[in-house]
Amino acid sequence: MKRPASSRQRPAGARLLPLAFSLLLSSSLALTTDQTLRAEAIGDNLRCPICTGEPITQSTNDISREMLRDVREQVAAGRSDAEIYSYFAARYGNFVLLDPPKDGVGMLLWGAPLAALGAGGLVLWRFLRRRPTAAAAATPGPEGDTFDPYLAEVQRRARRGKEA
């Protein structure tokens, strides 16, 4: 996948005019408040293709401005979120999707914390439900910290006393 990175980057000096232009354009595009919020939410989940991990709503370069304007136009045209995301994925690659899709490889990503939650919960539940006899049967290590069984007993009792 070719990233449109270098080819579209313009010298920074040229940033001012397009910015003013795009501001002009975006204000001419009449969106309702709900639509504006929706466009912003979608923009938050689209990565600026030439920055390090910034969404297009935060980045100030031309390509982000263009993409954001594109989002607003598509929102105004009544396209669904999924349609807009797949449009950008087709144009710039899955790379720009900051909210990774929950299919294919993405299932691994979204599934991992859930698997950890489930597995950890199971281990914890089994540990807390373990019968006391099972632990009592466990032999203490042959070389505990204390060589003296009496001292060990005293420590055990002292600990119990502290808990009371």
Partner 1 sequence: MLNLISFDASPLGALGQLSLLAALAFTLGGTWLAVVGGVKADARATEAARRAVWAVFALVSLSILTLMAALLGDDFSVRYVAEHSMRASPTWIKVTSLWGALEGSILLWAWMLAGYAFILSLTLRRDALRPWALAAMYASLLFFVGICATVASPFTPLAQIPADGRGPNPALQNHWMMAVHPVLLYLGFVGLAVPFAYAVAALVTGRLSDHWVVVTRRWTLTAWAFLTAAIVAGGWWSYETLGWGGYWAWDPVENASFIPWLLATAFLHSIQIQERRGLMRSWNVWLIVLAYASTVLGTFLNRSGIVQSVHAFAGGPVGPVFLGFLAFLLVAGIGLAAWRAPHLRDEGEPPAALSREGAFLAGNWLFLVFAVMVLVGTLFPTIVEAVQGRRDTSVGPAFYNAFAIPLGLGLLLMMGVGPLLPWRRAEGQGLWRALWPLLLAGAGAAVIAYALGIRGVGVLATVGLSAYNLVGLGLLTGRALRQRGGGMVGLLREQPRRHGAYLAHVGLVVMALGIAFSSAYRQDAQVTLNVGAAPVRLLNETLALEGTREERKPYGTSAIARVRIDGRAYETRMNTYIQGGDTPFPAPAVRYGLWGDTYLVVTAFGEEGRWASVRLIESPLVSWIWWGTLIVVLGAGLTLVPPRRAPARVSALQAAPATD
**Residues lying near partner 1 in the complex (CB under 8 A):** 1, 3, 11-13, 15-16, 19-20, 23, 44-45, 47, 52-55, 58, 60, 93-100, 105-106, 108-110, 112-113, 116-117, 120-121, 124, 127-130, 132, 134-136, 138-146, 156, 159, 162-164
Q: Which is nearer to partner 1, 76 or 94 (CB)?
A: 94
Which residue do the tokens 């502290």 mark?
162
Least CB distance to partner 1 at residue 5 (A): 11
Least CB distance to partner 1 at residue 121 (A): 7
- Cα dihedral angle (3, 39, 72, 4), rounded to 10 degrees? 0
End-to-end CA distance of the chain: 65
| CA–centroid distance for 27 within its chain | 31
- Tell me the Cα Rg of the chain: 29
Least CB distance to partner 1 at residue 27 (A): 10
